[in-house]
């Protein structure tokens, strides 16, 4: 389906979800699809405070729906707080989603054109002249954000935030993290195959939680460890002994972590780096859920990826020669590790990688 067809389909779906909506509610949907968050907030803390007040006012009527918008954003209804996600985290997601959309006006105009077609075809139940005049009036005001109509608010009691689509697949993980953080510190392992998005998720979590992130790629085997016997071990393709000694054991004892990163260009260890873990500590990377390490975590997530998407991502990110090394060397080692040590089934949560 092309973009115009997708816009038409989503507008129809939106009308079917809210049959009592008015023209201004369609405009609001189009504006949020094109510009995302309707206004910048002063801070994540201010956003969280407002979310908490709004959720308390709406109370039991809160919906937990996640609604797809026609763009890079989604509406997340405040009932999602019942899943365990804190108002603080939802506020940060809202804050981090706010940005300038350079093509926003162009996108609004394209989506209005699709909406006008649906009105003319009788699919959207608005008078054609009224809709056209409303479009002209909104254009003259340079397409500002709008409030829902009184009819929409009375009928549907909307209470949601618009956040970036990139956060939505991880909402179940945020809920697990926030539930555990409410009672203490959390150590999270992010596992999965090559190109499943482990590093990307680690970076995302760092942005949302201001947490400490350790990368298993910093613990590649040293030259003297690279023996046939070592590579024959399921999960032997990482220096788990050094990771355990330098990171997990000190961290479990509440001590500062002093560890050395492996330099792939020189095959040597860099000078020690001192890190004081935050309330949330993330360990991302293949082999992080080895049985000798997994007992130190409070939570684990497995990012599942299809062979087709994995191949596509690896070929896109690497030279042909490097991609062949993934396919012929590293992925087979990962597969043995995952299968022999039941990695996926031992993780608390499984999320699917998306293109």
* Contact residues for 191 (Cβ-Cβ < 8 A; gap 6+): 198, 285, 286, 288, 289, 300, 301, 302, 303, 343, 344, 347
- Superfamily of the domain at 184-352: P-loop containing nucleotide triphosphate hydrolases (3.40.50.300)
pLDDT at 98 (0 to 100): 85
Tell me: the pLDDT tens digits for 246-285?
A: 999 999 999 999 999 999 989 999 999 999 889 999 999 9
pLDDT at 45: 87
* pLDDT of 37 above 90: no
pTM of the entire structure?
A: 0.93
Residues 215-228 have a mean pLDDT of 96
Please give the torsion angle defined by the CA atoms of residues 153, 116, 112 and 151, in that order, rounded to the nearest 10 degrees: -10
pLDDT at 355: 67
Domain ranges of the chain: 3-168, 184-352
pLDDT band at 38 (very low <50, low <70, confident <90, very high): low
Confidence of residue 151 (pLDDT cuts 50, 70, 90): very high
Residues near 179 by beta carbon (within 8 Å), at least 6 away in sequence: 84
């Amino acid at each position: 389906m092309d973009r115009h067809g997708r816009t038409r389909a989503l507008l129809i779906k939106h009308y079917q979800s809210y049959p009592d909506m008015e023209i201004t509610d369609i405009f609001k949907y189009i504006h949020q699809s094109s510009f995302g968050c309707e206004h910048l907030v002063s801070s994540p803390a201010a956003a969280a405070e407002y979310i908490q007040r709004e959720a308390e006012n709406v109370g039991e009527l809160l919906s937990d729906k996640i609604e797809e918008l026609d763009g890079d954003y989604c509406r997340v209804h405040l009932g999602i707080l019942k899943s365990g996600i804190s108002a603080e985290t939802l506020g940060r997601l809202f804050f981090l989603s706010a940005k300038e959309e350079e093509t926003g006006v162009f996108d609004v105009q394209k989506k209005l054109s699709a909406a006008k077609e649906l009105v003319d075809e009788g699919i959207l139940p608005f008078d054609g002249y009224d809709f056209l005049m409303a479009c002209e009036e909104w254009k003259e005001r340079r397409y500002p954000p709008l409030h829902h109509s009184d009819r929409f608010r009375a009928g549907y009691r909307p209470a949601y935030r618009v956040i970036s689509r990139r956060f939505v697949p991880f909402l179940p993980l945020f809920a697990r993290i926030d539930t555990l953080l409410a009672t203490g510190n959390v150590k999270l392992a992010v596992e999965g195959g090559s190109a499943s998005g482990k590093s990307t998720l680690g970076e995302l979590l760092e942005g949302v939680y201001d947490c400490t992130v350790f990368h298993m790629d910093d613990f590649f085997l040293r030259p003297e460890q690279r023996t046939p016997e070592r590579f024959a071990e399921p999960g032997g393709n990482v220096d788990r002994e050094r990771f355990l000694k330098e990171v997990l054991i000190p961290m479990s004892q509440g001590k500062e972590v002093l560890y050395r990163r492996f330099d792939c260009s020189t095959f040597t260890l860099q000078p020690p780096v001192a890190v004081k873990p935050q309330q949330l500590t993330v360990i991302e990377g293949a082999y992080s859920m080895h049985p000798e390490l997994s007992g130190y975590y409070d939570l684990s997530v497995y990012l599942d990826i299809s062979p087709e998407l994995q191949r596509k991502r690896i070929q896109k990110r690497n030279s042909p020669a490097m991609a062949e090394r993934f396919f012929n060397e590293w992925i087979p080692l990962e597969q043995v590790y995952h299968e022999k040590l039941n990695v996926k089934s031992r993780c608390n949560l499984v999320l699917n990688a998306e293109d």
